[in-house]
Amino acid sequence: MSTRSPDSPPLPEPGFAPRASVASHEASARSEPLPMSGAKGAPLPLLAVAVLGVLVLAGISLLIGVSHVSWEALLAPSENQRAVQVLVISRVPRTLALLLAGMSLAVAGLIMQMLARNRFVEPFTAGTAESASLGLLAVTLLAPGLPILARTAVAACFAMAGTALFLFILRRIPLRSALVVPVVGLVLGAIFDAATTFFAYRFSLLQSLMAWTTGDFSSVLRGRYELLWGAFVLTVIAYVVADRFTVAGMGEAFTTNLGLSHPRIMALGLAIVAMVTAVVVATVGMIPFIGLVVPNVVSLIVGDNARRSIPWVAVLGAGFVLLCDIVGRVVRQPYEIPVGTVAGVVGSLLFLHLLLRRDDRVG
């Protein structure tokens, strides 16, 4: 993360307290100020630095690739038509897709963590992404002719159903510990995955399945990524209603006490998360751990107020995906390593770090 906010303030060790589930006895251990207290606002200039960092990464992302594209060639377009074409048809869409996917996935992760009231949840660790790809498979099998928008809509429905099932199972688990939650999600994801693989195998679709489960931006071209703008719109909506998620994150009773409808906020949040996930899975595939790692890091920097943290989450999410993609493209030129794989390695390492650095407080 250091590349994007090189001079982030020394983190005041707030610990990695899960956003207290009701049954969690770890709740008392949180030394973090309450979300609404706003004592820990990170200065705006820092956010500007982060944005600048992401822009630099985006610039790098535009310039690397098999076909040589240099600034000089672009500045003298008459001599080198090809560079401009490469840029417009391939590079710019790819970089935009990376930015959009990173932003929306990270924010989706944040929302999910607030709704499930658990810091280890994200579309990848809650079965959402897997159920979305099950939905895609169902469309491919049953109605192959549907336009991409309809396919995505079906995937979103599946994603929502899968996530609802996840939340339902969570409610049924006695002695819910914050750490069991992602395990349930990962296993649920494995179950969906098994079902998907089963049918894909039966109908010889394993290869297409591989293509849409591993996050990969190498096939992004103009005309093939625009749906991701939809995910961006959803992210903006999330920002607009951010305060509601903050409130919902404090519990059902608290929410109701403030005169808000808890189920309605939950439904709204679920819908946003499911649609974002479905769009990303349908266009580029799964990118694990972004929605998990980024919000957690942000929460260390700016605290838990959604209104304040969403811009950070979006910016750092975009930066994270960009960085993973750049690494994947540079390591083995001219071949590529899909971003999903790179994110799997980096993300799981970061996640392990987040998990194990708090072990002194787990009895």
Partner 1 sequence: MSASALRLEGHERRLLLLGGLAAFCVVVFMTVDAGGKWDFVLPFRARKVATVLLVGYAIAVSTVLFQTVVENRVLTPAIMGFDTLYLLLQTSLLFFLGSRTMASLDSRLLFTVEVAIMVVFSAVLHRWLFEGGRRSVHLLLLTGVVLGVLFRSLSSFLQRLIAPGEFDFLQDRFFASFNNPDPDLLIVSALMTLGASVLGFSLMRTCDVLNLGRDVAINLGVDHRRTVSRLLAVVAVLVSVSTALVGPVTFFGLLVANLAHGLVRSHRHVHVLPAAVFLAVIGLLGGQLVLERVFSFGANLRVIIEFLGGLMFITLLMRGVLR
The least CB distance from residue 285 to partner 1, in Å, is 13
- Whichever of 80 and 177 has its CB closer to partner 1, that residue is 177
| Contact pick of 288, 291, 303, 319 for partner 1 (by CB under 8 A) | 288
Interface with partner 1, residue 180, by CB under 8 A = yes
Look up residue 15 and give its amino acid.
Answer: G
| Contact pick of 16, 120, 225, 320 for partner 1 (by CB under 8 A) | 120
**Eight-class DSSP state of 86:** I
Cα-only R_g, the chain: 20
Interface with partner 1, residue 164, by CB under 8 A = no
Site string for partner 1, 68-107 (x = CB under 8 A): ----------------------------------------
Interface with partner 1, residue 183, by CB under 8 A = yes
Number of residues that bind partner 1 (CB under 8 A): 44
Site string for partner 1, 21-60 (x = CB under 8 A): ----------------------------------------
Q: How far apart (Å, rounded) are the C-alpha atoms in residues 42 and 257?
A: 30
User: Which whole-number Å values give the CA distances from 39 to 43, 44, 311, in the listed order?
Assistant: 12, 14, 18
Q: How far apart (Å, rounded) are the C-alpha atoms in residues 15 and 348?
A: 19
- Whichever of 83 and 184 has its CB closer to partner 1, that residue is 184
The least CB distance from residue 246 to partner 1, in Å, is 26
| Contact pick of 65, 162, 182, 269 for partner 1 (by CB under 8 A) | 182
Interface with partner 1, residue 188, by CB under 8 A = yes
| Contact pick of 187, 236, 253, 330 for partner 1 (by CB under 8 A) | 187
Interface with partner 1, residue 173, by CB under 8 A = yes
- Whichever of 92 and 138 has its CB closer to partner 1, that residue is 138
Note whether 312 and 285 are within 8 A (CB): no
Site string for partner 1, 328-347 (x = CB under 8 A): ---xx--x-xx--xx-xx--
Q: What is the DSSP string of 302-333?
A: H-S-HHHHHHHHHHHHHHHHHHHHHHHHHHTT
- Whichever of 88 and 187 has its CB closer to partner 1, that residue is 187
- Interface segment toward partner 1; rule CB under 8 A; list 28-36, 111-119, 197-205, 242-250: 197-205
Give just the sign of the alpha carbon dihedral 27, 31, 32, 35: positive
CA angle 286, 292, 297 (to 5 degrees): 135
5 CB-near residues (< 8 Å, 6+ apart): 46, 49, 50, 53, 301, 316
User: Which whole-number Å values give the CA distances from 207 to 137, 141, 214, 284, in the listed order?
Assistant: 12, 14, 11, 15
Look up residue 358 and give its amino acid.
Answer: R
Interface with partner 1, residue 352, by CB under 8 A = yes
| Contact pick of 13, 39, 172, 207 for partner 1 (by CB under 8 A) | 172
Helix (H) / strand (E) containing 109: helix 92-116
Burial of 79 per CB tally in 10 Å (0-12, 13-18, 19+): exposed
Q: Which residues bind partner 1 (CB under 8 A)?
A: 120, 169, 172-175, 177-180, 182-184, 186-188, 190-191, 193-195, 197-198, 201-202, 288, 331-332, 335, 337-338, 341-342, 344-345, 348-349, 351-352, 355-356, 359, 362-363
